[in-house]
Amino acid sequence: MLVDAGGEPDGGPARDEESTPVDTATETSEPGPCNEARIAVESDAAEVRVGDLLRLQLVGFEASDGREVNWLVRGPGDAIEVVFDSGWSASYLVRQPGPHAFAVETWTAEGALICRVEGERVDASELGVTGLVVVLSWRTPGDANENDTGGDQIYFSVGSDMDLHLLHPKAYGQYFDWTYDCYWDNVNPEWGIFGPGGNPTLDRDDADGVGPEQISLREPEHGVRYQIGVHYWNDWGYGPSIASVAIYVDGALVDQWDGVELTNDDMWDSHYFDSGSGAVSRIGAEPVITPNYRGFSGP
């Protein structure tokens, strides 16, 4: 008989109840597709931090009738988190510091639960940086596989390409400024009047879907209002995408604006960051979007 490794047919969280008898271990002597199954959590860095994109994979699972896969992630406060895609592997963007619990259920095509596998808990640390960090992620409903990577980004791409922009006031609100816009073509401009800490950096670029794309500014210039924007550079034929911008100040999530739909060439002015007060404010009650924004495309 197959035994559900988690013992929770309805997907209820039982992992943190220490009083739960650990009888699942005794069941593993019986051969079955779930005995060797486990969740592998891969990260680019040794330590998981806010802003990291984790790859979740179900490994060691052998069941010929396995058809459906359902990933479950619970973040800090037991909140149910969004998992990108949901195949035998999946991607998860860490947005909050604290414990994250992973589980995956596999089902037959007829809707019978084959097993539920619990992963090891991952504790995400806060962003280890001071100052401003902006993270962009996006979904593209028209892309059947949002998690693949590739393409030359000249003639084709396997996913859509959104871009994060950070403007210094000396850009006068003009994106693609060669000096005062930090973005993919100007990844570490010289803005700092007191040293390199005042220079922003594009830490992560993503050109084929999902993100995250990240810009940080460790030592914001005092008394300056920076502007954050999102540009839909190229949909590569996958259609509209749904953008999400998360803003961290001194490692803490200050605002996250989800669910903003952009079409190709749209430019969305999302936030201001006022370094004097430390305040992050949304630009407009509704998203302020300029269509057909090509800006200057400099050499």
Applying CB under 5 A, the residues found at the interface with Ca ion are 143, 145, 148, 158-159, 161, 163, 207, 209
Instruction: Output the DSSP codes for 137-162.
Output: EEE-TT-S-TT---B-SSS-BSS-EE
Which of residues 61 and 138 has its CB atom nearest to Ca ion in the complex? 138
Angle CA 154–155–158, to nearest 5: 95
CB of 73 to Ca ion, least distance (A): 21
CB of 268 to Ca ion, least distance (A): 14
Burial of 76 (0-12, 13-18, 19+ CB in 10 A): middle
DSSP-derived letter for residue 263 is -
CB of 200 to Ca ion, least distance (A): 16
DSSP-derived letter for residue 47 is S
Position of minimal CB gap to Ca ion: 159
Which of residues 161 and 235 has its CB atom nearest to Ca ion in the complex? 161
Which of residues 65 and 185 has its CB atom nearest to Ca ion in the complex? 185
The answer to whether the beta carbons of residues 269 and 216 sit under 8 Å apart is: no
Instruction: Output the DSSP codes for 70-94.
Output: EEEEE-GGG-B---B--SSEEEEE-
Rg (CA), the chain: 22
Cβ neighbors of 195 (< 8 A, separation 6 or more) are: 219
Report the candidate in 275, 167, 165, 274 with the shortest Cα–Cα distance to residue 219.
Answer: 275
The answer to whether the beta carbons of residues 51 and 213 sit under 8 Å apart is: no
CB of 212 to Ca ion, least distance (A): 10
User: Helix, strand, or coil here: 255?
Assistant: strand
Which of residues 107 and 184 has its CB atom nearest to Ca ion in the complex? 184
CB of 223 to Ca ion, least distance (A): 30
CB of 133 to Ca ion, least distance (A): 17
In whole angstroms, give the CA distance from residue 296 to residue 233: 12
Which of residues 81 and 146 has its CB atom nearest to Ca ion in the complex? 146
Which of residues 138 and 191 has its CB atom nearest to Ca ion in the complex? 138
CB of 146 to Ca ion, least distance (A): 5
Which of residues 100 and 139 has its CB atom nearest to Ca ion in the complex? 139
